[in-house]
Amino acid sequence: MAALLLLFLFLFASSALCQDSLIGVNIGTEVTDMPSPTQVVTLLKSQNINRVRLYDADRAMLLAFAHTGIQLIISVPNDQLLGISQSNATAANWVTRNVAAYYPATNITTIAVGSEVLTSLPNAAPVLVSALKYIQAALVTANLDRQIKVSTPHASTIILDSFPPSQAFFNKTWDPVIVPLLEFLQSTGSPLMLNVYPYFDYVQSNGVIPLDYALFQPLQANKEAVDANTLLHYTNVFDAIVDAAYFAMSYLNFTNIPIVVTESGWPSKGDGPEHDATVENANTYNSNLIQHVINKTGTPKHPGVPVATYIYELYNEDTRPGPLSEKNWGLFHTNGTPVYTLRLAGAGAVLANDTTNQTFCVAKEKVDKKMLQAALDWACGPGKVDCSALMQGEACYEPDDVVAHSSYAFNAYYQKMMKASGSCDFKGVATVTSTDPSRGTCVFPGSAKSNQTLGHNTTALAPSANSTTSGCFQHPQASFDNLTFFSFLLLIALVFL
């Protein structure tokens, strides 16, 4: 009894001290200069993002996420769907190579089997549920089925007549797939994954949907959309689509399957007729969406029931085919600087992405070492940079290589020139980053660590890439407060022993 009480108190305390923000991001791969996996993880940690969805199961990425605590959705790509759906051995091999080899060091929580298969790859629809079942069976064999869920993301267009939400239903063409899929999700306790894009609903409505309604902007009471059947009031498109999915499931007698929104966002740039793909609208939508999710507002049908949501996406994908808007859904450029600064007053440290004044200049990876050495010699000579910290025995001497030394010298010059345009180029061997390159006692010029004051510097306090405190920003005073809090709970437990 005492042990159970202690366990309860520990879980309660953990919940109170480290809340999951329920906000995640998608990381696409169609990027010219994709940052290294370590750089990606460092950015995520600095933004206190504790949920990530990958569109594959890349080995380097999975290794980089080890011991971070970040919750990962990994994916079976559509081109592997057929093979897995036809062979239990193929599925077992996939789980062995991509899950068991990394778990639990890498916190894989979900496997997404395919992506928008019903709408983007309809010929594979008949094998979709088989693929999910084979992956699930492989997890059972590996004793990982209780820790890792299996599902598949859908486009919201599989739901017809989404307004009013109470009349929504799944496209009956897919009933032979949807019904067994929902049976599988219910039996395994897995979520329905849904990609929700109010941007497309707004654009395709030809003016019927007001822009403010799509952007989560405040509406006058007489302009809220009202479901005549339930009298529920809807103030934004996002909630209406999520509730349409709930109602569509209940129409088929499935009422206890949670929903996870695996993609949602707004493009920051467009061309031609894409007039509303702007930085201002993207900022407004994502800022309001994040606030909505973090507040655990729920939806009109299920108020207070949080909906975990993954922003599409972390980086702009400059090589993605299609119109200009398809390349501009990212929150960040690949150098770690934000596309725009989210307006998240009161939302805590999650995605507080104002890194505009936290930029540094570092050496590019995989460039000619002779060019780096020449640029380093110039910075420490004609460039008049103080390179004394790079001398043997000084704080930034180690590691003794041209890349590390060049990064320090380039950044010193960049900061000295007040981050002026062109001051971080060095004939193409340098790049700007928002990730503080300081390490240990080697503090780079411009780093907040150089005059760190506890309690006021969120950048200096951001977790490192291999920290295990993912997503839980800890105030410097927290260690004392937490100790006091746990001592109080332990005292309570002892009273009841």
- DSSP string over 369-438: HHHHHHHHHHHHTTT----GGGSTTSTT--S-SHHHHHHHHHHHHHHHTTT-TTSS-TTTTEEEESS---
C-alpha count within 13 angstroms, C-beta hemisphere, residue 53: 32
What is the pLDDT averaged over residues 264-279? 92
- Tokens, residue 441: 């006692």
Cα–Cα distance, 262 to 470 (Å, whole number): 20
> CA quadruple 137, 142, 147, 151: dihedral positive or negative?
negative
Q: Are 449 and 436 in contact (CB under 8 A)?
A: yes
Of the pLDDT bands very low, low, confident and very high (cuts 50, 70, 90), residue 453 is very low
Which position among 30, 116, 280, 394 bears the catalytic label? Answer: 116
Q: What mean pLDDT comes out for the span 14-24? A: 59
DSSP string, 315-384: B--TT--SSGGGG---SB-TTS-BSS----TTSTTTT----TT--EEEEPSSS-HHHHHHHHHHHHTTT-
Question: Cβ-count burial of 210 within 10 angstroms (0-12 exposed, 13-18 middle, 19+ buried)?
Answer: middle
Task: Give start and end residues of each alpha helix (H) in 207-300.
Answer: 211-214, 237-251, 279-294
φ/ψ (deg, to 5) at 295: -70, -5
CA distance 157 to 162: 9
> Catalytic pick from 263, 280, 313, 317?
263
* Phi, psi of 60, rounded to the nearest 5 degrees: -65, -40
Question: How far is it, in rounded angstroms, from Cα 258 to Cα 255?
Answer: 9
Give residue 345's pLDDT band: very low, low, confident or very high (50, 70, 90): low
Q: Specify the pLDDT at position 470.
A: 40
Q: Is the dihedral of CA 234, 237, 238, 240 positive or negative?
A: positive
Q: Are 409 and 388 in contact (CB under 8 A)?
A: no
Q: Tokens 């000619």 sit at which residue? A: 368
- In tens, the pLDDT along 56-113 reads 999 999 999 999 999 999 999 999 999 999 989 999 999 999 999 999 999 999 999 9
Coil, strand or helix: which one is 194?
A: strand
pLDDT for position 295: 84
Answer whether 292's CB lies under 8 Å from 238's CB. Answer: yes
**Cα–Cα distances in angstroms (integers) from residue 496 to residues 2, 12, 16, 490, in the given order:** 7, 17, 22, 10
Task: Answer whether 49's CB lies under 8 Å from 88's CB.
Answer: no
Distance CA 119, CA 78 (A): 12
Query: Mean pLDDT lowest for which of 152-161, 345-354, 369-378, 397-406?
Result: 345-354
Average pLDDT, the chain: 83
Per the annotation, the verdict on 30 as an active-site residue is no
CA distance 449 to 13: 31
Query: Is residue 419 scored above 60 in pLDDT?
Result: yes
* Average pLDDT of span 260-286: 93
Residue-level pLDDT at 58 = 94
pLDDT greater than 50 at residue 458: no
Instruction: Determine the 3-state secondary structure of 263 from DSSP.
Output: strand
Helix (H) or strand (E) segment spanning residue 494: helix 478-495
Is the pLDDT reported for residue 348 higher than 80?
no
Say whether 272 sits in a helix, a strand or coil.
coil
Question: What percentage of the chain has pLDDT greater than the value 90?
Answer: 58
pLDDT at 328 over 80: yes
* Token output for 156: 């919201």
Over range 214-243, report the average pLDDT.
89
Instruction: Report the pLDDT averaged over residues 271-298.
Output: 90
- Tokens encoding 79: 């081109």
- pLDDT at residue 366, rounded to an integer: 82
Tell me what pLDDT residue 461 has: 24
Task: Please identify which residue in the block is written with the tokens 């129409």.
Answer: 251
Tokens of residue 397, six digits: 């001497």
Please check whether residue 444 is in contact with residue 408, taking contact to mean a CB–CB distance below 8 angstroms. yes
C-beta of residue 242 within 8 angstroms of C-beta of residue 193? no
Pair 402, 372: CB distance under 8 Å: yes
Share of the chain above pLDDT 70, in %: 83
User: What are the pLDDT digits (tens) for 290-323?
Assistant: 989 988 889 999 999 999 999 999 999 989 998 9
Question: Annotated catalytic, 116?
Answer: yes
Q: CA-CA distance, 157 to 195, in Å (whole number)?
A: 9
Of 226 and 476, the one with more pLDDT: 226
Residue 8's pLDDT band (boundaries 50, 70, 90)?
very low
